């Protein structure tokens, strides 16, 4: 059994800066002003380690979205944002990254408190990666270029032209983000949009609104002009749906469940706004017996599924281990799982925090019950931990059948399904046998095999002898029902720009 530090005894000792911030986190950011929701309504955000309310945030709705979109439209069309040089825009984006690093401890504390993740992960993964997204994209602001084209126009013999393309910002962008990496998802979306010269209305997840609001303050401090970034906290079915459907929004960027992703596509059909989607996953992680070091692969497989409590779209939740090493691999991951220290994310010795919400707890334990009913074998875990907060024991399931929901569906919790394999071709078929295609990994020291499998995977990211390696310079996104488009890297700019062909008769 993993040890549990009783969250009931957890002392919430926040920095003075965060105590003060939480008191003012009940407003929306619209047109550079912090304002209450039009309805005056608020909603609670919880500490998932205890279920206690942290504070209440403004519950934005259709009317607030309308105001935010109008502010974003105004800021897009009438200066000063559109009149800044690319270099000036880049410097503001860079400054946001600097301010995030300056406030790294405070942001990490706020993220851990609101989301449940550990302070260490928030401080050393979420915050630096988020700041890096702004620093990386700042450099792109001055490098968004069109091309020239040697056109021939065969039906106009003798005519001469200068033909080129301009890359222009797509316009007003709606961005809807999830709760698993709240600050990082805001950064992945905002940084390229700002670098490209767009204006934004951001809708954070209802479970984790706090760091996006703090980021809003830092963006104002960095010099982002009024209306360029608007932040409307509230519920998906109301604020989110209004944003996705809004006729004056040119593009919507969404990260979350595949189910809601499909609703976004439908909502966007009204004005055929551009859509990019980063959705779920059920990623295969394959260990061959020839892997260079089995212990490293076992650690990698444990990290692949248990990092961020399994609340990762790329989580390596389907483990395939070659028959000869299957038992050793499963035993190795199980012994690591049993030692994971569950507790309040803000306690220094906690290694895994609670799931984000009561709803997510019910969802994950629902899958665990289904797995038991279906006759799968639980090597370790399989139950809620404690009776306060939303903790689930790290779980490993074997002896599954392909049709079982624990095998098919994204659970989004610390739950691994492990299966043995013996034949490479059959393995590839099984690894790809999912509606998702976000990430995949393979552990082997056979270079040819590594390349062969990397090519065969139908997934947007493939890790070889590693897992969870992300970088702002790498494109990220999904095949199949894991999404449309690629975030991060230069490719993200394609999501936030339009290409305009200009032909000049000479």
The tokens of 108 are what?
A: 């990490």
Q: What is the DSSP letter of 362?
A: H
Pairing of strands 52-58, 33-35: unpaired
CA distance linking residue 454 with residue 450, whole number of Å: 6
Q: Give the nearest distance from C-beta 261 to ligand NAP in angstroms.
A: 7
Cα dihedral sign for 310, 252, 272, 502?
negative
Looking up tokens 């690319």, which residue turns up? Answer: 86
In 3D space, the residue among 396, 43, 458 whose CA is nearest the CA of residue 237 turns out to be: 43
Only segment of 53-61, 112-120, 130-138, 202-210 that touches ligand NAP (CB under 6 A): 202-210
| Min CB(435)–ligand NAP separation in Å | 13
240 binds ligand NAP (CB under 6 A): yes
Does residue number 470 form part of the binding site for ligand NAP (CB under 6 A)? no
Give the shortest CB-186-to-ligand NAP separation in angstroms: 11
Q: Which stretch binds ligand NAP (CB under 6 A): 8-16, 33-41, 249-257, 441-449?
A: 249-257
Q: Is 255 in the site for ligand NAP (CB under 6 A)?
A: yes
Which position has the token pair 């639980």? 378
Q: Which does 194 bind (CB under 5 to 8 A by kind): Mg ion, ligand NAP, none?
A: none
The residue among 310 and 389 lying less far from Mg ion, judged by its C-beta, is 389
Q: Residues 89 to 148: which contact ligand NAP by CB under 6 A?
A: none
Region of 502 please: left (phi>0), alpha (psi -120 to 50) or beta. Answer: beta
Catalytic residue among 106, 313, 322, 393: 313
Binding site for Mg ion (CB under 5 A): 45-46, 114, 207
Residue 278 falls in the annotated catalytic set: yes
Q: Which of 34, 161, 235, 378 binds ligand NAP (CB under 6 A)?
A: 235
Question: Taking CB under 6 A as the rule, does residue 257 contact ligand NAP?
Answer: yes
Here's the x/- map for ligand NAP, 154-193, by CB under 6 A: it reads as ----------------------xxxxx-------------
H or E stretch at 215: helix 210-222
Instruction: Give the Cα separation of 254 and 276 in Å (integer).
Output: 6
Nearest-angstrom CA–CA distance, 46 and 357: 8
In the complex, minimum distance from the CB of residue 360 to ligand NAP, in angstroms, rounded to a whole number: 6
**What gap in Å lies between CA 404 and CA 375, rounded to an integer?**
9
Q: How many residues bind ligand NAP (CB under 6 A)?
A: 27
Should residue 46 be labelled a site residue for ligand NAP when binding is judged by CB under 6 A? Answer: no
Rg (CA), the chain: 24
DSSP symbol at 60: B
Q: How many CB atoms lie within 10 A of CB 170?
A: 21
Answer yes or no whether residue 236 interacts with ligand NAP by CB under 6 A.
yes
Catalytic residue from among 106, 111, 206, 278: 278
Selected from 30, 198, 205, 304, the binder of ligand NAP by CB under 6 A is 205
CA atoms within 13 A on the CB side of 268: 22
What amino acid positions are annotated as catalytic residues?
Answer: 278, 313
State the residues that interact with ligand NAP by CB under 6 A. Answer: 176-180, 203, 205-207, 235-237, 240-241, 244, 255-257, 260, 263-264, 279-280, 313, 363, 410, 412
């Amino acid at each position: 059994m993993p040890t549990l530090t009783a969250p009931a005894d957890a002392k919430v000792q926040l920095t003075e800066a965060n105590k003060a911030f939480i008191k003012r986190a009940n407003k929306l950011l619209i047109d550079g002003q912090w304002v209450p929701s039009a309805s005056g309504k608020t909603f609670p955000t919880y500490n998932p380690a205890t279920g206690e309310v942290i504070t209440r945030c403004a519950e934005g709705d259709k009317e607030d979205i309308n105001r935010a979109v109008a502010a974003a439209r105004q800021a897009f069309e009438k200066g000063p944002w559109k009149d800044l040089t690319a270099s000036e825009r880049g410097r503001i984006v860079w400054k946001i990254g600097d301010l995030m690093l300056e406030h790294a401890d405070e942001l990490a504390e706020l993220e851990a408190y609101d989301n449940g993740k550990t302070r260490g992960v928030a401080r050393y993964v979420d915050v630096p990666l988020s700041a890096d997204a702004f620093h990386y994209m700042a450099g792109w602001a001055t490098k968004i270029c069109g091309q020239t084209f040697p056109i021939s126009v065969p039906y106009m013999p003798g005519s001469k032209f200068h033909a080129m393309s301009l890359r222009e910002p797509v316009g007003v962008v709606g961005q809807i983000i999830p709760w698993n990496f709240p600050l990082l998802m805001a950064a992945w979306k905002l940084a390229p949009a700002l670098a490209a010269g767009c204006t934004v209305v951001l809708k954070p997840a209802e479970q984790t609104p706090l760091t996006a609001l703090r980021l809003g303050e830092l963006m104002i401090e960095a010099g982002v002009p009024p209306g360029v970034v608007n932040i409307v906290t509230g519920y998906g079915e109301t604020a989110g749906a209004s944003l996705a459907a809004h006729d004056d929004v040119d593009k919507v960027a969404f990260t979350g469940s595949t189910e809601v992703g499909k609703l976004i596509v439908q909502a966007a059909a009204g004005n055929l706004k551009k859509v990019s989607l980063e959705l779920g996953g059920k990623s295969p992680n394959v260990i061959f017996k020839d892997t260079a070091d089995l212990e490293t692969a076992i650690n990698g497989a444990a990290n692949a599924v248990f990092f961020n409590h399994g609340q990762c779209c790329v989580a390596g939740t389907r483990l395939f281990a070659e028959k000869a090493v299957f038992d050793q691999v499963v035993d190795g991951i199980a012994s690591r799982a049993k030692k994971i220290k569950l507790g309040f994310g803000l306690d220094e010795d906690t290694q895994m925090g609670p799931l984000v919400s009561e709803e997510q707890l019910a969802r994950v334990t629902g899958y665990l019950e289904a797995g038991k009913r279906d006759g799968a074998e639980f090597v370790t875990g399989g139950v809620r931990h404690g009776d306060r907060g939303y903790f689930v024991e790290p779980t490993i399931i074997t002896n599954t059948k392909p049709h079982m929901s624990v095998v098919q569906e994204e659970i989004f919790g610390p739950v691994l399904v492990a299966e043995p394999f013996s034949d490479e071709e059959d393995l590839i078929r099984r690894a790809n046998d999912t509606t998702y295609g976000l990430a995949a990994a393979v552990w082997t020291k056979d270079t040819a095999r590594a390349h062969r499998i990397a090519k065969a995977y139908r997934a947007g990211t493939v890790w070889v002898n590693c897992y969870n390696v992300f970088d702002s310079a790498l494109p990220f996104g999904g095949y199949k029902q894991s999404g449309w488009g690629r975030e991060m890297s230069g490719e993200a700019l394609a999501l936030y720009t339009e290409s305009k062909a200009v032909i000049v008769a000479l």
